[in-house]
Amino acid sequence: MKLKPKKQAALELVKLCCVALDDKKAGDLRVLDVSEQSSVTDYLVIATANSDPHLRALRVELEKVIDATKTHIVGIETAQESGWTVIDAFDLMIHLFSAERREQYGLENLWKDAVEVSVAKLIAVPKPKSAKTPKAAKPTKKAAAASRKPRVAKG
């Protein structure tokens, strides 16, 4: 499926954000394509933080990633100790929750008709394409024997 350039750019930003969230150990990371259901955004990224400091760390990391792409952040909404932070990057809205708030609001249930995007596929590192992988050279008998000999410190 060929995506339109605007949607492809949005998906690239989603990918960068998901990699950042995964690196920072966000829990239960999900991506929903809501472009058919919403006139406000194309993608929702939803993740769980394990504490208020973790929630802040995830937000700060996402701000860095989004700023690095020169994408305008429309707004960030977070009430101290609310357990919920929203980052609006127009084509992408990121919702970071504490576990309690995520269960309370059940955002995924509000978007049942959305298409879920596989986070695993999204953040997977692509394997380099090569016609043939060269075989590793076999070690010589002398080198193989030397590698098996234990090294003993003299002294």
Among 12-16, 55-59, 72-76, 141-145, whose mean pLDDT is lowest? 141-145
pLDDT tens-digit profile of 100-109? 999 999 988 8
Q: How far apart are CA 78 and CA 125, in angstroms?
A: 32
pLDDT (mean) for 2-26: 86
pLDDT attached to residue 134 = 53
* Domain ranges for the chain: 5-125
Residues 6+ apart with CB under 8 A from 20: 61, 62, 64, 65
Cβ neighbours of residue 154 under 8 Å, at least 6 residues apart? Answer: none
Place of tokens 């024997």: 145
Does the domain spanning 5-125 belong to CATH 3.30.460.10?
yes
pLDDT digits (tens, 9 = 90+) for 51-67: 999 999 999 999 999 99
Question: For the whole model, what pTM was predicted?
Answer: 0.76
**How many Å apart are CA 127 and CA 138, to the nearest integer?**
25
